[in-house]
């Protein structure tokens, strides 16, 4: 197993790097389904970076208790600072999610926004396998990720952008992964189904709602290539 990426030195710059690169699009992805979570009471947030999603979840849901897992201590400190008065409802775990165990807790929400792209397809599958027993039958798994639509414009526009991002984070944080994992296939095989999907920037970004299956079955989710790619130039 490769060492976990080290995002410590990016903690203070993370938000501004994101805005400079993609404007508000990544934030819109994270929050697109946020209004559907009022009933969630115990959440597991994986790799939230500087904690903006965690802080927002605490604001809109005054009952939720959150376990936040990240390998970067600096990112967790930023998350705790952003949590503000909701800090008492957050427990942080500085750990590599590839080996972290939920320790018998029962979650009705998992959120992993722009995090699974730091893992291989095999590592995503193993993560889903370990999380599955800790989720309630009606749990939601929110996933936001980069994507390369299966189209000519996908290969001409999206793939170069993704390749540049991987090169940058390999240099800045030691990310060893070099391509997007097929997370849809990986978690489908571990007994999850995708219920809803929304694409932004012509399919370069996707945000999805997944649920555990009652019967473990495989279902591949494909990105719709018929998107307006003119939005990429905006």
Would you give the distance in Å from CA 78 to the centre of its chain? 17
pLDDT at 231 over 80: no
Q: Pairing state of beta strands 90-94 and 65-70?
A: parallel
pLDDT at 7 over 80: yes
pLDDT band at 174 (very low <50, low <70, confident <90, very high): confident
Tokens 């009933």 belong to residue: 39
Of 53-62, 112-121, 134-143, 147-156, minimum mean pLDDT range = 147-156
- pLDDT given for residue 153 in this prediction: 73
Domains defined for the chain, CATH in brackets: 8-233 (3.40.50.150)
Query: Residues 96-103: contacts with CB within 8 Å, 24+ apart?
Result: 96/4, 96/71, 97/46, 97/47, 97/69, 97/71, 97/127, 98/1, 98/4, 98/123, 98/126, 98/127, 99/1, 100/69, 101/130, 102/44, 102/67, 102/130, 102/131, 102/134
- Quickly list H helices, 61-199: 73-83, 121-131, 152-153, 159-173, 183-188
Spatial separation of the C-alpha atoms in residues 164 and 157, rounded to whole Å: 11
Contact present, 98 and 127 (Cβ < 8 Å): yes
- Its pTM stands at 0.88
CB atoms within 10 A of CB 197: 18
Residue 70 main-chain phi, psi, to 5 deg: -155, 145
For residue 203, CA distances in Å to 77, 159, 179 come to: 33, 11, 17
Tokens encoding 54: 């965690």
CB atoms within 10 A of CB 224: 12
Spatial separation of the C-alpha atoms in residues 35 and 77, rounded to whole Å: 26
- Quickly list H helices, the chain: 14-22, 25-31, 52-60, 73-83, 121-131, 152-153, 159-173, 183-188
List pLDDT tens digits, range 60-102: 999 999 999 999 999 999 999 999 999 999 999 999 999 999 8
Of 17-21, 77-81, 116-120, minimum mean pLDDT range = 17-21
């Amino acid at each position: 197993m490769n060492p976990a990426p080290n995002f410590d030195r990016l903690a203070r710059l993370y938000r501004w790097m994101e805005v400079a690169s993609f404007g508000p699009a990544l934030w819109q992805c994270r929050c697109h389904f946020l209004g559907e979570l009022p009933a969630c009471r115990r959440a597991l947030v994986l790799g939230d970076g500087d904690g903006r999603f965690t802080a927002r979840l605490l604001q809109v849901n005054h009952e939720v208790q959150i376990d936040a897992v990240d390998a970067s201590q600096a990112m967790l400190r930023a998350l705790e600072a952003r949590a503000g008065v909701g800090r008492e409802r957050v427990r942080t775990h500085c750990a590599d999610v590839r080996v972290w165990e939920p320790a018998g807790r029962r979650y009705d929400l998992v959120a992993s926004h722009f995090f699974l792209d730091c893992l291989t397809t095999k590592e995503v599958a193993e993560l889903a396998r370990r999380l599955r027993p800790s989720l309630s039958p009606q749990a939601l798994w929110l996933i936001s990720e980069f994507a390369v639509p299966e189209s000519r414009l996908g290969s001409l526009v999206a793939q170069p952008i993704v390749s540049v991002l991987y090169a940058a984070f390999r240099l800045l944080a030691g990310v060893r992964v070099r391509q997007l994992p097929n997370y849809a296939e990986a978690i489908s095989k571990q007994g999850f189904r995708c219920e809803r999907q929304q694409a932004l920037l012509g399919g370069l970004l996707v945000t999805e709602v997944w649920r555990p299956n009652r019967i473990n079955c495989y279902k591949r989710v494909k990105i719709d290539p018929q998107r307006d790619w003119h939005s990429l130039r905006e």
